[in-house]
């Protein structure tokens, strides 16, 4: 089964790191791992839903737009739990990404577009979101959700 | 089990699609797209999507709802939504799509609106 290749590199009570091949199945795998940490972090049901949604959208972006479904490329996810927040980083091996270039899907002229809402959901559902372009290449999205915003 | 189950019933000239499961990237979105395409091929242009059993929609699923809406409109038909869960209603609110879709909580009201 394909998902057998997908295994946590390192798991403690505070941190989970995953390295997943660029497939749609990576979305569920990452979301499940994050949900395990979220369930122990004291988030409300709404906040847990928001984190799940943001993680799924970030992984989908990494697989589709970052790595372009190239299974020789990986999506790396790091989740760190601290007493007051959860920080999730999603890194792809794509050619880079400018979040400012993404059109606002809530503008009148974009309402009927069939795509372009993933980044909007990530921004909307997390307390802080940063897109980074590390020197080794690719894009990292760093998302933070505070336990008591 | 399929990610999204779709069953079809007819109420006069309105086709009701009862959806249950998830409309998410991959299988769920494709299942909805395929069903809408089939409706249009069969000349069914008044479509009511009953989302009571849909617990999860992602940006791809939202996109598929929008695509369905525009495809049916383009063909001279109408797509309306019924029984949104609170979560889906919230997603359509923040994306401002509640201003686009015709949404109902009662099936009879929804059916009457097609007349």
A65 touches chain B (CB under 8 A): no
Judging contacts by C-beta atoms under 8 Å, the chain B residues touching residue A106 are: 94-96
Q: Provide the number of CB pairs (under 8 Å) joining chain A to chain B.
A: 52
Residues of chain A with pLDDT under 70: 1-13
pLDDT at A15: 84
pLDDT at A13: 52
- Residue-wise pLDDT for B35-60, tens only, equals 999 999 999 999 999 999 999 999 99
Of B59, B94, B100, the CB nearest to A112: B100
**pLDDT at residue B14 above 90?**
yes
In a domain, A1, yes or no: no
- Residue-wise pLDDT for B85-111, tens only, equals 999 999 999 999 999 999 999 999 999
The CATH code for residues B4-113 is 3.30.750.24
Mutate to test the interface with B, among A117, A118, A119 (most CBs of B within 10 A): A117
Cα separation of A106 and A46, whole Å?
A: 22
Mean pLDDT calculated for residue range B73-94: 96
Q: Does the distance separating the beta carbons of B26 and A117 come in below 8 Å?
A: no
Q: Which pTM was predicted? A: 0.90
Total of domains in chain A: 1
In a domain, A77, yes or no: yes
Q: Does the distance separating the beta carbons of B58 and A57 come in below 8 Å?
A: yes
How is chain B split into domains, by residue range?
Answer: 4-113
B25 touches chain A (CB under 8 A): yes
Owner of token pair 């940006």: B59
B98 touches chain A (CB under 8 A): no
In a domain, A138, yes or no: yes
Q: Does the distance separating the beta carbons of A53 and B63 come in below 8 Å?
A: no
A111 touches chain B (CB under 8 A): yes
Cα separation of A98 and A140, whole Å?
A: 11
User: Domain range for residue A113?
Assistant: 22-146
Cα separation of A28 and A32, whole Å?
A: 6
Instruction: Assign residue A91 the CATH number of its domain.
Output: 3.30.565.10
pLDDT at A3: 41
pLDDT at A99: 86
| Cα torsion through B61, B42, B1, B82, rounded to 10 | 50
Cα separation of A14 and A17, whole Å?
A: 10
In a domain, A3, yes or no: no
């Amino acid at each position: 089964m394909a998902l057998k290749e997908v295994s946590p590199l390192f798991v403690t009570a505070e941190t989970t790191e995953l390295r997943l091949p660029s497939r749609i199945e990576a979305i569920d795998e990452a979301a499940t791992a994050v949900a395990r940490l979220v369930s122990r972090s004291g988030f409300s049901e709404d906040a847990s839903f928001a984190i799940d949604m943001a993680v799924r959208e970030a992984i989908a972006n990494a697989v589709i737009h970052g790595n372009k479904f190239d299974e020789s490329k990986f999506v790396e996810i790091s989740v760190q739990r601290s007493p007051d927040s959860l920080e999730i980083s999603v890194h792809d091996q794509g050619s880079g990404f400018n979040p400012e270039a993404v059109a606002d899907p809530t503008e009148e002229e974009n309402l009927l577009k069939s795509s372009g809402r993933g980044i909007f959901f990530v921004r909307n559902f997390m307390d802080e979101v940063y897109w980074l372009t590390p020197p080794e290449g690719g894009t990292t999205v760093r998302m933070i959700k505070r336990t008591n915003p | 089990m399929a990610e999204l189950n779709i069953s079809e019933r007819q109420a006069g000239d309105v086709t009701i699609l009862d959806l249950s499961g998830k409309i998410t990237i991959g299988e769920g979105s494709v299942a909805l797209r395929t069903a809408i395409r089939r409706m249009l091929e069969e000349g069914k242009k008044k479509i009511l999507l009953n989302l009571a059993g849909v617990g999860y929609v992602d940006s791809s699923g939202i996109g598929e709802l929008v695509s369905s809406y525009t495809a049916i409109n383009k063909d001279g038909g109408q797509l309306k939504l019924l029984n949104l869960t609170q979560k889906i209603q919230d997603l359509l609110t923040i994306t401002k799509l509640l201003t686009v879709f015709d949404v109902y909580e009662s099936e009879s009201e929804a059916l009457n609106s097609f007349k």
